[in-house]
């Protein structure tokens, strides 16, 4: 056997989202802790069995989680913020979920994007506490798999450098002590694994695929050197993914037994470095050869040729193959799909299909390509069929893209001119209040949508139901005293899927779910063809809502980059071109809303930063075309039309300049979980446009306290003027209950009134 196969991780949510239902049943207290643990164990073992059935040579264990794998490491080490009043005995489920979701007394920990993916992790908080190993989760996972399935797996966990760099509240003076504790804790984990005769131990270090500093690389060298000295028997597989490694020579020289490199994202740089600097003879190269982040089938013969080249560079028997990253970023199986057109379905590979591709490539390397030439030919023919499909050859779309010019990216007047015109027209008070767009998707709303799709009620009956929901929530908003209203988005399942369903070029799945954060799973659309606007998508609901009130109602749209980044995108043309196709479609919708008298239009871009390349030298190019796509969608409106956008859960400190370049009249940002960082960013950067302060966390079931919201606004007013600030929740409210929403908004309004009273003389 010359080649070994493995995976970094497998989707933990189950083919039918069993994981989600189990977790949420426990939260609702309809499932006991004992039954919860039984269900989770069954899911864990089923996921491992999938790898076994697919004949993966080295099965990975420990990639399962009850909420988030970064949080798992923090809980292992007793990193529980003091506000949860933890007794220090064990991190039980209630404490664990309080960190993730908050509780009645305390806010949750911050949540942000996992590198440049749509997954969100819980940010670890270090408060100078003394840490210790409360439970060795990798060892527990290893022993369970061995006892229940008879397999000696490869336990995995987030590596120490990545965990260290992702930790919050880490003051400079605390860094040495904290790192020292982490080294001791990870060393203990390694010792206990070695004591149980674990052969391979996977430490995931995606931070090494970012533009880390020389100092951070020196830290990594020091840490792994200590591991090798203290636990020399540990065979560590150091996994990098999402990009190439900058410090290639230093990384391959780390004292570990194997190194995982991404030969999908970062393929050119990693391959060039491998050719230039070679690879240590005593180590194995674990090549990420199958794209773990998209749903397209692998060009098998092309990747086989690459594997032949890699094997020639590292030597026979020294090459392992795997997907480029954990398969948690893709759905479970194409077998769950029955309605997709054949040319598209034949080109899809979800997690289970990627395991099959892995097996094909591994066997072809072992047996010779001649035995798989028919498979390779069929694979190439399927890819060619889709590339030549008429849906990818729409002349009017390509002509429209060719006609885009510099003038399409700019508003007619400066922001200062627009603001004066808009204020005269809208007559908004100081600290205008609004929401981000969606209101609770109650069981009744979901039931009506399901009935309509099953044909149990007519489309007309469904539209009348939606109208009743809109009217009900316009009344609620009027009574609460909100200044700018929304129609509530009751007709929308998802902020991307809804628009994709009404545009050309999109396809939709039945069960292709992936996890976004916590138990929140999304079903990303597939952009497989040219995108174009067909008919108005949001106008009827927005205009109806506006007819019910004299207050302005926002038109609510999803921005082109968010639609791009939250979809699975065709890979035959540059993403920039797809973004511009979407932007022109959204621009058409903006024009229709404006033509119907809608004076405020919000085009949300929560995923703008998410698409930012991990390498600093690649970021400027992305930002240029991504920002231009937003402006292409929003700039051709009158000065009187106020353009809003919304961003959430991203690191704003180094992102203020791109936000400024968007030139949105109002940008709403998340400040409830991370207001300290936001305020720090604005201290060093003058920002003139208006800002909506997300003053409470909608992902937590708790009702925000007045003093919590007041503190956020007070802090914001240290660096922003009162005339700039809008007040709103930090995100949409679709996942909350009606009573929670009304109570939270009432407190938000009450908080706003105190600030209006304080600052009324400044108007």
Which of 271-285, 407-421, 704-718 is the least confident region? 704-718
**What are the DSSP calls for 535-583, one per residue?**
S-SSHHHHHHHHHT-SS-BEEEEE-HHHHHHTSEE-SSS-HHHHHHHHH
pLDDT digits (tens, 9 = 90+) for 140-158: 999 999 999 999 999 999 9
The CB density around residue 752, as the number of other CB atoms within 10 Å, is 26
Exposure class string for 633-643: b at 16+ Cβ within 10 A, else e: bbbbbebebbb
Q: Could you tell me if 206 and 244 are in contact, meaning their C-beta atoms sit under 8 angstroms apart?
A: no
Per-residue pLDDT, 656: 83
- From the list 364, 350, 279, the residue with the least C-alpha distance to 321 is 364
Q: In what order do the strands lie in the sheet with 568-569?
A: 503-507, 526-533, 568-569
Per-residue pLDDT, 672: 66
Angle between helices 706-716 and 738-759 (to 10 degrees): 50
Average pLDDT over residues 354-378: 95
Rg, the chain, Cα only: 26
The rounded distance, in Å, linking the Cα atoms of 333 and 514 is 11
Per-residue pLDDT, 107: 85
User: Is pLDDT above 70 for 499?
Assistant: yes
The rounded distance, in Å, linking the Cα atoms of 443 and 198 is 48
487 catalytic residue (yes or no): no
Residues in the annotated binding site for L-homocysteine: 436-438, 489, 604
Which of 350-364, 465-479, 613-627, 654-668 is the least confident region? 654-668
In Å, how far are 123, 411, 514 from 113, measured between CA atoms?
10, 31, 15
Percent of the chain past pLDDT 90, that is, above it, reads 84
pLDDT digits (tens, 9 = 90+) for 335-347: 999 999 999 999 9
Residues in the annotated binding site: 17-20, 113, 118, 436-438, 489, 520-521, 566, 604, 610, 646, 648, 670, 731
Q: Could you tell me if 8 and 202 are in contact, meaning their C-beta atoms sit under 8 angstroms apart?
A: yes
Q: Could you tell me if 367 and 360 are in contact, meaning their C-beta atoms sit under 8 angstroms apart?
A: no
The token pair that represents 568 in the structure block? 């699975």
The rounded distance, in Å, linking the Cα atoms of 387 and 21 is 38
User: Is pLDDT above 80 for 653?
Assistant: no
The token pair that represents 473 in the structure block? 């929530």
On the 0-12 / 13-18 / 19+ scale of CB atoms within 10 A, 494 is: middle
The rounded distance, in Å, linking the Cα atoms of 556 and 491 is 12
User: Is pLDDT above 80 for 285?
Assistant: yes
The token pair that represents 370 in the structure block? 């001649």
Q: What are phi and psi of 669, to 5 degrees?
A: -130, 160
How sure is the predictor about 73, in pLDDT bands with cuts at 50, 70 and 90? very high
Say how many Å lie between the first and final Cα of the chain, rounded. 77
- From the list 485, 603, 641, the residue with the least C-alpha distance to 552 is 485
User: Is pLDDT above 90 for 763?
Assistant: no
User: Is pLDDT above 70 for 673?
Assistant: no
Cβ neighbours of residue 505 closer than 8 Å, sequence gap 6 or more = 391, 527, 528, 529, 530, 531, 532, 581
The CB density around residue 613, as the number of other CB atoms within 10 Å, is 18
Report angle CA 516, 676, 709 to the nearest 5 degrees.
85
User: Is pLDDT above 60 for 723?
Assistant: yes
User: Is pLDDT above 70 for 652?
Assistant: no
The rounded distance, in Å, linking the Cα atoms of 685 and 693 is 17
Dihedral over Cα of 270, 274, 276, 282: its sign: positive
DSSP state of 488: B
Residues in the annotated binding site for Zn(2+): 646, 648, 670, 731
Per-residue pLDDT, 697: 82
DSSP state of 283: S
- From the list 279, 290, 271, the residue with the least C-alpha distance to 7 is 290
Collapsing DSSP to helix, strand or coil, 322 comes out as strand
Cβ neighbours of residue 571 closer than 8 Å, sequence gap 6 or more = 294, 296
Average pLDDT over residues 18-37: 97
Per-residue pLDDT, 675: 56
Residues in the annotated binding site for 5-methyltetrahydropteroyltri-L-glutamate: 17-20, 113, 118, 520-521, 566, 610
3-state per-residue secondary structure call for 668-735? EEECCCCHHHHHHHHHCCCCCCEEEEECCCCCCCCCCCHHHHHHHHHHHCCCCCHHHEEEECCCCCCC
User: Is pLDDT above 50 for 161?
Assistant: yes
Among the options 120, 247, 675, 699, which is catalytic?
699
Q: What is the set of domains in the chain, with CATH numbers?
A: 3-194+295-390 (3.20.20.210), 411-762 (3.20.20.210)
Cβ neighbours of residue 515 closer than 8 Å, sequence gap 6 or more = 11, 12, 13, 119, 328, 521
User: Is pLDDT above 60 for 762?
Assistant: no
Cβ neighbours of residue 92 closer than 8 Å, sequence gap 6 or more = none
What pTM does this model have?
Answer: 0.90
Percent of the chain past pLDDT 70, that is, above it, reads 98
Chain mean pLDDT for the chain: 94
The CB density around residue 197, as the number of other CB atoms within 10 Å, is 10
Angle between helices 137-149 and 175-195 (to 10 degrees): 20
The rounded distance, in Å, linking the Cα atoms of 358 and 714 is 55
The rounded distance, in Å, linking the Cα atoms of 209 and 213 is 11
Which of 205-209, 554-558, 605-609, 631-635 is the least confident region? 605-609
């Amino acid at each position: 056997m010359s080649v070994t196969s493995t995976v970094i991780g497998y989707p933990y949510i189950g083919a039918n989202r069993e994981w989600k239902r189990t977790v949420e049943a426990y939260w609702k207290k309809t499932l006991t802790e004992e039954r919860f643990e039984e269900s989770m164990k069954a899911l864990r073992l089923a996921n491992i069995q999938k790898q076994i059935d697919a004949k993966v040579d080295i099965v990975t264990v420990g990639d399962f989680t009850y909420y988030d794998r970064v949080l798992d490491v923090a809980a292992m080490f007793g990193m529980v913020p003091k506000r949860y009043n933890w007794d220090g005995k064990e991190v039980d489920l209630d404490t664990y979920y309080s960190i993730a979701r908050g509780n009645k007394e305390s806010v949750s920990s911050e949540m942000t994007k996992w590198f440049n993916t749509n997954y969100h992790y819980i940010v670890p908080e270090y408060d100078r506490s003394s840490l210790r190993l409360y439970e060795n989760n990798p060892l527990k996972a290893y022993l369970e798999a061995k006892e229940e399935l008879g397999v000696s797996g490869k336990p995995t966990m987030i590596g120490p450098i990545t965990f260290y760099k992702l930790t919050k509240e880490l003051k400079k003076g605390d860094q040495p002590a904290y790192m020292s504790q982490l080294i001791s804790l990870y060393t203990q984990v390694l010792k206990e694994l070695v004591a149980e005769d674990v052969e391979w131990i996977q430490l995931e270090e995606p931070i090494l695929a970012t533009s880390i500093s020389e100092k951070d690389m020196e830290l990594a060298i020091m840490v792994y050197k200590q591991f090798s000295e203290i636990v020399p028997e540990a065979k560590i597989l150091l996994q990098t993914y999402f990009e190439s490694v900058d410090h290639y020579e230093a990384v391959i020289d780390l004292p570990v037994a194997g190194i995982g490199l991404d030969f999908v994202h970062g393929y050119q740089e990693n391959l060039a470095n491998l050719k230039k600097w070679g690879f240590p003879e005593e180590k194995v190269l674990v090549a990420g050869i199958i794209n773990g982040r998209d749903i397209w089938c692998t060009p098998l013969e092309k990747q086989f040729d690459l594997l032949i080249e890699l094997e020639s560079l590292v030597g026979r028997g020294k090459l392992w193959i795997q997907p480029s990253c954990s398969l948690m970023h893709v759905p479970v199986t194409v077998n769950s799909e029955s309605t997709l057109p054949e040319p598209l379905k034949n080109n899809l590979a979800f997690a289970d299909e990627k395991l099959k591709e892995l097996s094909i490539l591994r066997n072809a390397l072992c047996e010779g390509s001649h035995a798989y030439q028919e498979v390779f030919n069929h694979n190439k023919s399927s890819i060619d069929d889709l590339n030549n499909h008429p849906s990818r050859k729409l002349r009017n779309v390509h002509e429209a893209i060719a006609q885009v010019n510099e003038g399409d990216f700019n508003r007619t007047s400066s922001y200062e001119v627009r603001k004066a015109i808009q204020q005269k027209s809208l007559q908004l008070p100081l600290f205008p209040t609004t929401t981000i767009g969606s209101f609770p998707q109650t069981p009744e709303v979901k039931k009506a949508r399901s009935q309509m799709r099953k044909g149990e009620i007519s489309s007309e009956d469904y539209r009348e139901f939606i109208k009743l929901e809109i009217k009900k929530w316009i009344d609620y908003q009027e009574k609460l005293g909100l200044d700018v209203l929304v129609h509530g988005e009751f007709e929308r399942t998802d902020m991307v899927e809804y628009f994709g369903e009404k545009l050309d070029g999109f396809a939709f799945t039945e069960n292709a779910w992936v996890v976004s954060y916590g138990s929140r799973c999304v079903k990303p659309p597939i952009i497989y063809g040219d995108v174009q606007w067909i008919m108005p998508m949001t106008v009827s609901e927005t205009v109806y809502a506006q007819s019910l009130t004299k207050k302005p109602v926002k038109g609510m749209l999803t921005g082109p980059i968010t639609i791009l980044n939250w979809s699975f995108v065709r890979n035959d043309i540059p993403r920039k071109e797809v973004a511009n196709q979407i932007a022109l479609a959204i621009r058409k919708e903006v024009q229709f809303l404006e033509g119907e008298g809608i004076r405020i239009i919000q085009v949300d871009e929560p995923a703008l930063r998410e698409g930012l390349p991990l390498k600093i030298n690649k970021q400027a190019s992305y930002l240029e075309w991504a920002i231009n796509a937003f402006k292409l969608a929003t700039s051709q409106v009158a000065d009187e039309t106020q353009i809003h956008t919304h961003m959430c859960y991203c690191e704003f400190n180094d992102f203020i300049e791109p936000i400024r370049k968007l030139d949105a009249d109002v940008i709403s940002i998340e400040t409830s979980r991370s207001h300290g960082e936001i305020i720090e960013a604005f201290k060093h950067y003058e920002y003139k446009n208006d800002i909506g302060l997300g003053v409470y966390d909608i992902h937590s079931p708790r009702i925000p306290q007045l003093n919590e919201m007041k503190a956020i606004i007070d802090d914001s007013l240290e660096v922003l003027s009162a005339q700039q600030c809008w007040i709103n929740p930090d995100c949409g409210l679709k996942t909350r209950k009606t009573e929670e929403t009304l109570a939270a908004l009432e407190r938000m309004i009450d908080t706003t009134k105190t600030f209006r009273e304080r600052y009324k003389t400044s108007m």
